[in-house]
A and B are shown apart, each in its own frame.
Chain A
Amino acid sequence: MSEKYIKPSRNIAARMLDDEMIVMSVRDSAVYSLNATASVIWSAADGSTPLREIVASKVVPQFEVEPEVAYQDALELVEELAREGILVVADHPIPGESA
């Protein structure tokens, strides 16, 4: 199974509000709220760290979850965010300056 790389889309606005990440797509002004776990993943989405590593190093220790379950949930999450157009998901590192 190939590694997944993630990075916020260019056309977004985002800000942490306590433990919740608020994201807005500037094209259609849709607003999203990411829960604590999803926020941690979003904050670590630099385009060069594989998702598996993000989950292992940030999600599993902080939220005390089963690594494999956490990774499957994370995959589902990033696919949903990609469908909404606010996150870029690729099988290779994603170029561009970090947000």
Chain B
Amino acid sequence: MSTLAQSINEKAVRLGIPLSVHLDVTYRCNERCVHCYLDHDDNGELTFDEIHDLLQQMADAGVFYLTLSGGEPLLRNDLFAIIRRARELTFSVKLKTNAILIKEKEAALIRDLGVERVQISIYSHRPEVHDAITKVQGSLDRSLAAIRFLESQGLKVTMAHVIMSQNRFDYSGVQALAAELGAECTIDPTITPHINGDRGLLKLNMSRENLRDVMHDPTVLGGDPAKFCAPPLPATDDDLDALPCSAGNSACYISPYGDVFPCVQFPLPSGNIREQKFIDVWKDSPQLKEVRSIRMRDLPVCSGCAHVAGCSRCPGLAYMEGSMRGPSTADCEKSYAKTGIPSPNMIRLGLAGGSGR
């Protein structure tokens, strides 16, 4: 029996409704994180009027969850006007920010506007490690101060922690810090290739051994390693009939230039809201239609893999690797780190066995 949230999403998928949209309002940023996949220029961002109109179109199309991010959204001096308009249209608004520009006044405003949650990236509990990643000295202190301001306003805060090679010892410290501040904490061991296709960033990922240790750590999993790391259950028909994820099915991403993609991590250009109405892009885009047509059983390599029912496979990462119907090797590595069982893709690429363990 599914939860209410699950059944709402299932209904949205069934009716073809874009329940969630992630809108980046700028790619400009006041940090320069080493792993960031964006370029940071303004190449003609959507104006306030364009965003105002887009918000109305999205509300009419049934969008409920709206994530505002960037770059650094607070660099837009109309950000609060955008949030105010979104709230007038009763969106559930989540803000992703590095928060170094948030002090008491901003925190109070974010609270008054009724933002549901604020997500802040924290790379380490140690300033020297965090600041070396963001390339801004003092950024950790400022982000943590902002978290305190936001918490004091009663806002919900999530500390988003991405593990890479240079901060791989610090996730426990970050979790402890989150607990102390009363914030939630999410942990992600994924580094995404650059949006321009440069896969060089992947060398920032931690080693397979480290990944295995992380994937067996119950504080990261939030559950019992024996269950989580057990060999995968065989796939059922339901598993094979399933959609890979909500991207293009009940969710999509819009760039600061109005480009629509299935997801921020799935850079398949699917239309532009400066050229078409949002609902027309959502409904008629040939690219989104193609993404929507894919079920797990349609994936040539993955449908035959033991992990198919439980793998974290991201179609966007698969697309960046070469095919939206292909494997996502980063997710093969995670499944392998969890269970010790290599996927056919890993075997084919010669990644499993030998000294790899």
Contacts and interface: CB of A to CB of B under 8 A. Distances in A.
A17 B8 contact: yes
A26 B11 contact: no
A17 B91 contact: no
Contacts of A24: 64, 92, 116
A42 to B, nearest CB: 11
B116 A31 contact: no
Contacts of B64: 13, 15, 17, 22, 24
A25 to B, nearest CB: 9
B115 A26 contact: yes
Interface of A: 8, 10-18, 20, 22, 24, 26-27, 29, 31, 33, 99
A31 B5 contact: yes
A45 to B, nearest CB: 12
B133 interface: no
A15 B116 contact: no
Contacts of A20: 11
A20 B17 CA distance: 13
A99 B62 contact: no
B114 A26 contact: yes
Residue of A13, A16, A17, A27 contacting most chain B CB atoms (<10 Å): A13
Interface string B12-27: 1001010100000000
Given A22-B8, A24-B116, A31-B4, A15 B63 contact: yes
B41 to A, nearest CB: 33
Residue of A22, A27, A29 contacting most chain B CB atoms (<10 Å): A22
B59 interface: yes
B62 A16 contact: yes
Contact of A15 (B62, B88, B114): B62
A13 B63 contact: no
B93 interface: yes
B117 interface: yes
Contacts of A10: 114
B4 A26 contact: no
Contact of A18 (B4, B15, B91, B115): B15
B8 A27 contact: no
B36 to A, nearest CB: 28
A8 B63 CA distance: 19
A29 B116 contact: yes
A13 B64 CA distance: 8
B317 to A, nearest CB: 28
Nearest to A20: B11
User: 3 closest pairs, A vs B, by CB?
Assistant: A13-B92, A15-B64, A26-B116
Nearest to B63: A15
